[in-house]
Amino acid sequence: MENQKLIGSFKQAITLRNLPFKGAIKDSSLEILEDVGVWIIDGKIAEIDSFEVLVKKALDENVDILELPAGNWVLTPGFIDCHTHICFAGNRSKDYALRIAGESYLNIAKAGGGILDSVRKTRAAEEEDLTGLTLMRTFEMLTEGVTTAEIKSGYGLSVEDELKMLRAIQRVSLQTPMDVVSTCLAAHTLPPEFTDKKLYLDYLISELFPKIKEENLTKRIDIFVEETAFPYDLAKYYLQKSKEAGFELTIHADQFSTAGSKLAIELEALSADHLEASSDLEIKMFGESNTVAVVLPGASLGLGMSFAPARKLLDAGACVAISTDHNPGSAPMGDLLLQASVLAASQKLSTAETWAGITFRAAKALNLHDRGRLEKYFLADMLAFACDDYREILYWQGKLKPELVWKNGEEVGRHLL
């Protein structure tokens, strides 16, 4: 028995249909529909059309009509946050205070802060506690319009603790309405128990990978490519082994120095994320590749760094996604709409480019092809904003939040009522 419903009416709908995956996009390419309803069948969009026309059809076919509260509503696709680290315990507020006082990220790490501080706190947490903390964060993200999110491990750095994190993420995926995509980032940095980076990577390949496969905990492997983390040659070795084992690849690339993006493109990774240090050479390579360039404005804001060159990447023909890097250290804010709005103002991204970056282009970074647009057969992951015009959403730079959130056609978040 098909589950059908009609939702409306919306003063405007920004569909994002027919927009390209790569390169710059002019706002004139946006499809803006007016006075529409959305017909949903089994959690997927079946039709977007005049609400008046669809109401007549719904009455004829005895389909439920869910009318919105009085007022003007703008409909958009649900947001996709394709790079987060929200499975963690504790916080790094002391690190942040040192950073804004002028201390460098690397010096803080050398003094015992940084990633290893989160590792200590996350290792000390029970799986149940990690599950609860992560679940709470997913519900916060849902109220902000994120209907699909990637969540990384990487604060365990041992087989036992990485498995604990991945199991917690898996449990969260079963308890939240949000779709969760897990990624193993065990190669985040060298844990204190190891002094040899190659030995640590071999340990992950031989001991962790089989258990991940056995429990089906993730299909994705990530690595932080930096001299201070894992240099190019070792990262290439690890990623080749990951690929041979059947995993999809994504890479922390070009945050402080270049090399990671070259490796990502060479190995045909789904995405290369960060890119604050990317030069014209790397930008050109992205334009000629199918690897998604994921920019993370939250990390730039948290570290006081320049933004990744999103405008240049788009002009070079790259597929650019925008994500939060939501994590306890460098990017604690985790507000995708706010960050995308600020990045757009700084980098002169069009409304169309900004929306593409947090919807269907972000979905491509996760190898998902059924969401990110208001289009027939796509998931009915949708947001309703209480405003007169779609341009108001970015104009308010994150202050205007969605009042209604639907996941697979079911309402999961409501602010007003």
Same domain, 88 and 138: yes
Q: Could you tell me the pLDDT band of residue 104, with boundaries at 50, 70 and 90?
A: confident
The separation between CA 307 and the C-alpha centre of its own chain, rounded to angstroms, equals 17
Q: Could you tell me the pLDDT band of residue 417, with boundaries at 50, 70 and 90?
A: very low
DSSP bridge partners of 47: 39
Same domain, 131 and 260: yes
Same domain, 391 and 328: no
User: How many domains does the structure of the chain reveal?
Assistant: 2
Same domain, 135 and 238: yes
- For 262, the 3-state DSSP assignment is helix
Of 349, 365, 381, the residue that ends a domain is 365
Quick one: tokens of 103? 């201390």
Residue carrying the six token digits 């990690």: 130
Same domain, 344 and 393: no
Residue carrying the six token digits 């709005």: 341
pLDDT value, residue 414: 63
Q: Are 221 and 184 in contact (CB under 8 A)?
A: yes
Report, as an integer, the average pLDDT of 37-61: 96
Could you tell me the CA-to-CA distances from 211 to 157, 163, 184 in Å, in that order? 15, 8, 12
Residue carrying the six token digits 């949000």: 178
Same domain, 45 and 99: no
Q: Could you tell me the pLDDT band of residue 415, with boundaries at 50, 70 and 90?
A: low
Long-range contacts of 284-290 (CB under 8 A, 24+ apart): 284/316, 285/261, 286/261, 286/313, 286/316, 286/317, 286/318, 286/319, 287/22, 287/23, 287/313, 287/316, 287/317, 287/318, 288/317, 289/265, 289/318, 290/319
Report, as an integer, the average pLDDT of 41-69: 96
Q: Could you tell me the pLDDT band of residue 112, with boundaries at 50, 70 and 90?
A: confident
Q: Could you tell me the pLDDT band of residue 1, with boundaries at 50, 70 and 90?
A: very low
CATH number for the domain harbouring residue 238: 3.20.20.140
Residues sharing a CB contact under 8 Å with residue 93, sequence separation 6 or more, in sequence order: none
CATH number for the domain harbouring residue 410: 2.30.40.10
| Burial class of residue 102, CB neighbours in 10 A (0-12, 13-18, 19+) | exposed
pLDDT value, residue 111: 80
Q: Whole domain around residue 57: which residue ranges?
A: 4-77+372-414
| Degrees to nearest 5, angle at CA 66 with 65 and 72 | 125
Cβ atoms within 10 Å, residue 24: 18
Same domain, 219 and 343: yes
In whole angstroms, give the CA distance from residue 256 to residue 136: 31
Q: Is the pLDDT of residue 33 over 60?
A: yes
> For the CA atoms of the chain, what is the radius of gyration?
21
Same domain, 55 and 90: no
Residues sharing a CB contact under 8 Å with residue 133, sequence separation 6 or more, in sequence order: 87, 88, 89, 125
In whole angstroms, give the CA distance from residue 332 to residue 326: 6
Same domain, 70 and 176: no
In whole angstroms, give the CA distance from residue 17 to residue 29: 9
Same domain, 70 and 173: no
pLDDT value, residue 378: 98
Same domain, 239 and 383: no
- Work out the angle between the directed axes of helices 159-175 and 115-124 (0-180°, nearest 10): 70
Same domain, 68 and 90: no
pLDDT value, residue 113: 85
Query: Tens digit of pLDDT for each residue in 333-344?
Result: 999 999 999 999
